[in-house]
Amino acid sequence: MNDRERLLAILGRRPPDRIPWIPRLKLWYDARVLTGTMPERFRGMSLREVERALGVGTPARDGRIFRLERQGVEVVTRREGPLHVTEYHTPVGSVRTAEHQSSDLEAQGLPGRVEEYPLKGPADYRVWEWIVEHTHWRPDDDAYRAYDADIGDEGLPMVGVGDVPIHEFILDLAGYDHAFYQLADYPDEIDHLLQVMTAVQRERLWPVIAASPARLVLHGVHLSSQFTPPRIFERYIIPYYQEFMPRVHEHGIAVAMHADNDTSRILDHIERAGWDMVECFVTAPMVPLTLEQAREAWGDRVIIWGGLPSLLLAPSVPEDEFRGYVHHMFDVIKPGNAFILGVADNVMPDSLIDRVAWVTDVVRERGAYPIG
């Protein structure tokens, strides 16, 4: 089998010939290129060529199935000192965001820190409702098929299609620092905003996803025990996905959640919402959740893509501790059902790339299905 066939087998609840090993190398690669510190053996290679040299599959996260259009919205961007400012102007008002970008982060190709979010109160909600009501998702199947052909047998496109409305509000529109104050102060107004967002997605986005040629979509990111705890799941998230999931599942599309946060208190809620997969799934020592606990909670009903915390690739972690973790992980996942080995969340800029190569050797030695 190749990596595409392995991923399709796992999505179809069939055994692969061996565990797929598909880490995200982009942050590490971009940092090495930008800082001129690429190891000699990879110098001049593209990211895909480095993946091949290391014997890993490609995560294939850059495909798209639609073009987002916002009619009647004027978007203005400018630089104000260290701030990148974006303004959205509509007939009913304007909102703006500001992101602080440091030279250190810029040098490594990493994002900055958002200092101002667009939604600060009810007046802004009305502006954003207008923006949402004038948003359309135009199908772009040709772009997907071209990307899919480029990926070939080295992976399977996982197409990002956005976030659940409540978490889009918390993460992107109000920000973690302010969202919960706003939920307490303006519950009715926020409920109306979320109803508008859900209704527009139901009418315009969901049909585009269902009719697309994609086999795997990413819908839901960074949901966590702290910022989307059980009560948020019960009220806002599970009802949304219990309506959304059947719409796409009947078209043979699997749905993944980006799970690089602490999910220790929401394991049951993730399964009840209906996700087929958690990808970039992070475990101890980075969060208070072990791979054993996740397997005990889900069995092989939820596919895990992850298992290797990025911290263990850092120079500060002793080599024997890293290697011991990897061998223990193979014992935990026996016989290997519903598991894709990856790094959670990324192979970071300071990661030891030789450890990635060593994992490739272990996968060849121990990864044949069933793992014994």
Ordered strands of the 216-221 beta sheet:
159-160, 216-221, 254-258, 277-281, 303-309, 339-344
Query: Angle at which helices 319-332 and 353-366 pack, to 10 degrees?
Result: 30
What gap in Å lies between CA 76 and CA 83, rounded to an integer? 14
- Half-sphere CA count of 351, side-chain side, radius 13 A: 29
pLDDT band at 192 (very low <50, low <70, confident <90, very high): very high
Quick one: average pLDDT of 246-254? 98
- Half-sphere CA count of 160, side-chain side, radius 13 A: 10
Q: What are phi and psi of 211, to 5 degrees?
A: -90, 0
pLDDT band at 326 (very low <50, low <70, confident <90, very high): very high
Q: What are phi and psi of 314, to 5 degrees?
A: -75, 150
Q: Is the pLDDT of residue 102 over 80?
A: no
Q: What is the pLDDT of residue 103?
A: 75
Quick one: average pLDDT of 112-136? 97
Q: What is the pLDDT of residue 221?
A: 97
pLDDT band at 358 (very low <50, low <70, confident <90, very high): very high
Q: Is the pLDDT of residue 170 over 90?
A: yes
- Domain annotation for the chain: domains and CATH numbers: 3-69+120-366 (3.20.20.210), 72-119 (no CATH)
- Half-sphere CA count of 132, side-chain side, radius 13 A: 23
Q: What is the pLDDT of residue 41?
A: 97
pLDDT band at 112 (very low <50, low <70, confident <90, very high): confident
Q: Is the pLDDT of residue 104 over 90?
A: no
Asked if 159 and 144 count as a contact pair (C-beta separation under 8 A), the reply is: yes
* In the chain, % of residues over pLDDT 70: 100
What gap in Å lies between CA 336 and CA 19, rounded to an integer? 7
Q: What is the pLDDT of residue 183?
A: 97
Quick one: average pLDDT of 259-264? 97
3-state secondary structure of 336: coil
Q: Is the pLDDT of residue 107 over 90?
A: no
Strand partners, 67: 138
The Cβ of residue 49 has, within 10 Å, a number of other Cβ atoms equal to 11
Task: Residue 300: name the closest of 68, 18, 15, 69 by CA.
Answer: 15
Q: Is the pLDDT of residue 37 over 80?
A: yes
Q: Which of the residue ranges 48-52, 78-82, 216-220, 264-268 would you say has the lowest mean pLDDT? A: 78-82
pLDDT in tens, 270-305: 999 999 999 999 999 999 999 999 999 999 999 999
Q: What is the pLDDT of residue 372?
A: 85
The per-residue b/e assignment along 59-97, b for 16 or more CB within 10 angstroms, e otherwise, is: bbeebbbbeeeeeebeeeeeeeeeebbeebebeeeebeb
What's the whole-number average pLDDT of the chain? Answer: 97
Asked if 128 and 172 count as a contact pair (C-beta separation under 8 A), the reply is: no
